[in-house]
C-alpha cells in the first residue's frame, strides 16, 4: 500500500471514531432496543446499588457517583473503549505520518510546483544527511 494512502485512511478512521464517540452511544441504544424487541426480551438496564465507602478527610472533594445506569455505562465503558481506540491510532501511527511528511516528496513530484518541490527536496536532503555529508543533493533532485 502506498504510504500516503495509508496515512489518509488512518486519518479518516480517527475522524470517524471521533464522530462515533459523539453519536455512537445513542445509535447503539436504538439498535440494542430493536434487537431486544426482535428477541422479545425486556430492554431494561438494571442499576446496581452504589457502594458506600467510609469517607475520610481529604483536601479534594470526591466525584459524585453516577446514579443513572445508562450514563454510567456510557462514561465507564463506551467512552473508555472508543477513547482507547482513538489514542491507539494516534500513538501507533504517529511515526508513519512523520515518515510520509519526510519522504512524501518522492510520491508527489507531479503534483508539486517548483518552489514546493525544491523545499521538500531540501528537507529530504537534510533528513538523509549526517554532519556535513549528505546522501543526495536536494537541488539536483528538484531539478530532475
Q: What is the pLDDT of residues 64-100, one digit of tens each?
A: 666 677 888 888 889 999 999 999 988 888 888 888 7
Q: What is the pLDDT of residues 92-113, one digit of tens each?
A: 888 888 887 777 777 766 677 7
Q: What is the CA radius of gyration of the chain?
A: 26
Q: Confirm if 89 and 106 have CB atoms less than 8 A apart.
A: no
Q: 22 or 2: whose pLDDT is higher? A: 22
pTM above 0.85, yes or no: no
Q: What is the pLDDT of residues 11-30, one digit of tens each?
A: 999 999 999 999 998 888 88
How many beta carbons lie within 10 A of that of residue 138, not counting itself? 22
Domain ranges of the chain: 3-46+67-95, 108-143
Amino acid at each position: 500500500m502506498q504510504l500516503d494512502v495509508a496515512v489518509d485512511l488512518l486519518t479518516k478512521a480517527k475522524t470517524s471514531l471521533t464522530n462515533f464517540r459523539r453519536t455512537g452511544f445513542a445509535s447503539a441504544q436504538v439498535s440494542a432496543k430493536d434487537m431486544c424487541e426482535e428477541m422479545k426480551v425486556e430492554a431494561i438496564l438494571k442499576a446496581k446499588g452504589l457502594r458506600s465507602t467510609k469517607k475520610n478527610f481529604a483536601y479534594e472533594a470526591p466525584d459524585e457517583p453516577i446514579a443513572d445506569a445508562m450514563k454510567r455505562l456510557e462514561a465507564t465503558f463506551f467512552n473508555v473503549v472508543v477513547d482507547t481506540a482513538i489514542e491507539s491510532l494516534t500513538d501507533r501511527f504517529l511515526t508513519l505520518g512523520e515518515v510520509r511528511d519526510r519522504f512524501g516528496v518522492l510520491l508527489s513530484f507531479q503534483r508539486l510546483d517548483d518552489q514546493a518541490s525544491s523545499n521538500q527536496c531540501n528537507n529530504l536532503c537534510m533528513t538523509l544527511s549526517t554532519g556535513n555529508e549528505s546522501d543526495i543533493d536536494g537541488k539536483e533532485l528538484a531539478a530532475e
